[in-house]
Structure 1
């Protein structure tokens, strides 16, 4: 799921019952990661198949080498809150 805000373009993921948020733009060629494939906690870029760990933002394979920015996520009741600070 993706959200475009004035402060950030976010992707929100749910893995093993937990929520994680990262920038939605691939650090390699600026593709939308929300259009990629999520498996085992890693999102695959739809453009060149670079992968990132959504829990840490770390680039997992080429061609991406730069990590994604990650954001702290908290669940309160039915709300998922993302700290942009």
Structure 2
């Protein structure tokens, strides 16, 4: 993964399925779930705040990512849990598309 002025290239756009998720890990071992839906790409920490499992194994629906283990849904923009059992948000990251490159700022927008 390459880094340019605070942005890290984490994937190519065509690696992320439409209305799907790609789980990656940065060189610093930060797990990130890249979600592509409705023409946008979102990045969340790839770890449920309730069950500590990979969110990238869940389903994308209506602007949310659902954890496969207990069904908590997280808002793609804010990382906020929308239903129990999760009560804590997951960190989100800014995403920028440069040509076919997906770049992420690893500064957490929330924590």
| 1:11-54 Cα distance to aligned partner (Å, 9 max, x none) | 00012101100000000011111110110111110100011011
84, 95, 99: which one pairs with 1:73?
A: 95
* Cα root mean square deviation, aligned: 0.9
Matched residue, 2:5: none
**The structure with more radius of gyration:** 2
- Give unpaired runs (5+ residues) of structure 2: 1-21
| Structure 1 residue 55: Cα displacement | 1.3
- Give unpaired runs (5+ residues) of structure 1: none
Are the aligned partners of 1:57 and 1:70 in contact in 2 as well (CA < 8 Å)?
A: yes
Higher strand residue share:
1
Matches within 5 A, 1:28-67: 28-67=50-89
| Structure 1 residue 56: Cα displacement | 1.1
Matched residue, 1:11: 33
| Structure 1 residue 66: Cα displacement | 0.3
TM-score, normalised by the number of residues in structure 2: 0.74
